[in-house]
Amino acid sequence: MDRREFVEGCALGAGSLAATLAGHAWAADARPRAYDRVLLVDELGKPLKATSLRVQTNYVFHYPFEATPVFLLDLGKPAVATPLVTREKQPYQWPGGVGPGRSLVAFSAICAHKLVYPTKDLSFISFRKGAAVNPQTPSKGSDLIHCCADHSQYDPARGARVLGGPAEQPLCAVLLEHDPKTDQLTATATLGGELFDDFFKKYEMKLSLEVGPNARQAVARQSTVRELDRFCRNPVRC
Ligand code: FES
């Protein structure tokens, strides 16, 4: 099962995951999947300070694999714990944001509909500040993650639940740990409906060209955070 370790909700006391989950009241059916603990660093390789993030700005890092992108956002408002359900009807409790304002969140940037994701050349999916605009469904909120491919919309302040479009489940959450002493961020696990197997199957050839032979290698030790506009040459706005 690659390098990941499935951790059942009833056995969350073990190892590093216990530290990750400290302070969160997990539902009995929550099933975070622990991967390597990965420190988020800036483009110079220095530990990223959470307070250096610009509010409501798209940042990207890769986790848990070298080729799987993740959005990191400071929403500028608290993101509260939210009960959610996967496409396979598995319930889980997203724990909310971390950091002093509980505003820091991270979600897989692989759209839960047809797996569109940001590359260095093009991105159809991103966070949009302000009122949602969806040509296919009435707008239901603001400050959403929007996928221009088929207009799925996700609410990052509520665990990336689906607010519009054809996606059948929330974006998979990446669990973060914020150290109040150092202001550093560490990615520790995923929670929700993972689509990594489908992703690697669908884009096997493309990823081997984009990322090389290590596309499916687990990220180890640290992952670089970049603004989406620096990571991607053509972030599409729709
Ligand atoms: S791939 Fe994102 S909405 Fe279809």
238 is a domain residue? no
Could you tell me if the CB of 150 is within 6 A of ligand 1?
A: yes
The CATH code of the domain that includes 223 is 2.102.10.10
- Mean pLDDT of successive 10-residue stretches along the chain, which has 238 residues: 38 38 46 95 97 97 97 97 94 96 98 96 91 68 91 96 95 98 98 96 94 94 96 85
Q: Output the CA–CA distances (angstroms, integers) from residue 213 to 92, 196, 203, in the order listed.
A: 34, 16, 13
What pLDDT score does 234 carry? 85
Q: Which domain holds residue 127?
A: 5-231
Which residue carries 């032979």 as its tokens?
A: 213
Rounded to the nearest angstrom, the distance between the alpha carbon of 58 and the centre of ligand 1 is: 18
Residues 159 and 95: their CA atoms lie apart, in Å, by 8
Could you tell me if the CB of 111 is within 6 A of ligand 1?
A: yes
- The residue contributing the CA closest to ligand 1 atom 3 is 150
Strand 125-131 with 91-94, pairing:
unpaired
What pLDDT score does 10 carry? 32
- Which atom of ligand 1 is the closest one to the Cα of 116? 1
What are the tokens at 14?
Answer: 């073990």
Q: Which DSSP string do the residues of 18-55 spell out, in sequence order?
A: HHHHTT----TT---EEEEEEEEE-TTSSBPBGGGSPT
Strand 91-94 with 59-62, pairing:
unpaired
Residues 92 and 169: their CA atoms lie apart, in Å, by 12
- The residue contributing the CA closest to ligand 1 atom 1 is 114
236 is a domain residue? no
The total number of structural domains that make up the chain: 1
Could you tell me if the CB of 113 is within 6 A of ligand 1?
A: yes
What pLDDT score does 151 carry? 92
